[in-house]
Amino acid sequence: MFIAYDESKKRVDINDADKSKQYYCPICGEKLIIKAKDSLAVKRHFAHKKGAECLDTWQHDMSEWHYNWQCLFPEECREVVVEKFGVKHRADVLINKFVVELQHSPITAAEIMERNNFYLACGYTVIWVFDSQNKVKSGYTTYKTVNPFLTTLEWKRARREFHIPTLNGVCVFIEYKTDVPANPQQEEDILLFLKKFEPKSIDPWDTNPFYIKRENLLKTLGIGADDVLSINDIFMAHKKYINQTTREPIYIKRKLQTRRRFRF
């Protein structure tokens, strides 16, 4: 975990932690230690002592990618304890009735469903963001760039954790780097909003010619600059673009109808 309690039960971020002081788990209250390893795979974090048992049995991602994502949100929205019927878990991010789960390390389909069911039962919309850098490849084409608008996409290796049903109230994004169309020498992080959760193929919502980026998701969740588009704004812009460039209104109507269940 990246946030723990001090002696006075004040929340402390791992970057502000002092090794000479004692910190405690927000879930079970047990003493924590500071694991000082700091790398792209594992960032410095709080951890239970060996042999300790916590009420929260879920495995939490401790990567640099995960921490950087969390830092995009206000501190009070990070690692928030959610409780229902005596069961407690830490949401990676809890903001405006949205739970955002950030996943860099491996996770099972069973745990994804367990988290979905818990947070949905608590009345939240669940948003997953998976770090998919170097895990996505082009389909049956010769394009070098992994651009969803130039080629079909597949997983380099089957993602068994995506062998789960599509649920109302659950949205899944994958993030990876792709070339910027206006400048092929430049790469940027983009988010794909998935239609289906499939272990082999990748089926994103069509937002061409607009990418979804981190700031678009943040805007959708209620934070960010006024001049940034929300994801719904992007879909509306895409609708306008399609209306201006196609003569197939029946196809458009069907396509837009299928999107409604995923609106934020």
Residue extents of the structural domains in the chain: 61-262
What values do phi and psi take at 87, rounded to 5? Answer: -95, 130
Please indicate, yes or no, whether the overall pTM of this predicted structure exceeds 0.75: yes
Amino acid at residue number 81: V
Say which residue, 111 or 252, is predicted with more confidence. Answer: 111
What pLDDT was estimated at residue 54? 87
- Residues 136-155 pLDDT 10s: 998 776 666 787 877 788 99
- In this predicted structure, the answer to whether residue 38 has a pLDDT above a threshold of 70 is no
Question: Is 178 within 8 Å of 188 (Cβ atoms)?
Answer: yes
Instruction: With CA atoms as reference, report the closest residue to 217 among 106, 108, 114, 101.
Output: 101
Tokens, residue 201: 């193929």
Question: Measuring CA to CA, how many Å separate 231 from each of 47, 72, 147, 211?
Answer: 36, 17, 19, 10
Percentage of the chain lying above the pLDDT 90 cut: 55
* Distance in angstroms between the alpha carbons of the first and the last residue of the chain: 28
Running DSSP on this structure, what letter comes out for residue 193? E
State which of 68-82, 195-209, 220-234 shows the largest mean pLDDT: 68-82
Question: Is 90 within 8 Å of 45 (Cβ atoms)?
Answer: no
Residue 85 burial by CB count (10 A; 0-12/13-18/19+): exposed, middle or buried? exposed
Q: What's the CA gap between 17 and 149, in Å, rounded? A: 44
- Residues 82-127 pLDDT 10s: 999 889 999 999 999 999 999 998 899 999 999 999 999 999 999 9
- Residues 104-116 pLDDT 10s: 988 999 999 999 9
**209 prior amide bond cis, ω within 30:** yes
Tokens, residue 80: 């928030």
Residue 147 burial by CB count (10 A; 0-12/13-18/19+): exposed, middle or buried? middle
Tokens, residue 215: 């700031």
- In this predicted structure, the answer to whether residue 60 has a pLDDT above a threshold of 90 is no
Q: What's the CA gap between 107 and 200, in Å, rounded? A: 16
- Residues 166-215 pLDDT 10s: 899 999 999 998 876 656 677 889 999 999 889 999 999 988 777 899 99
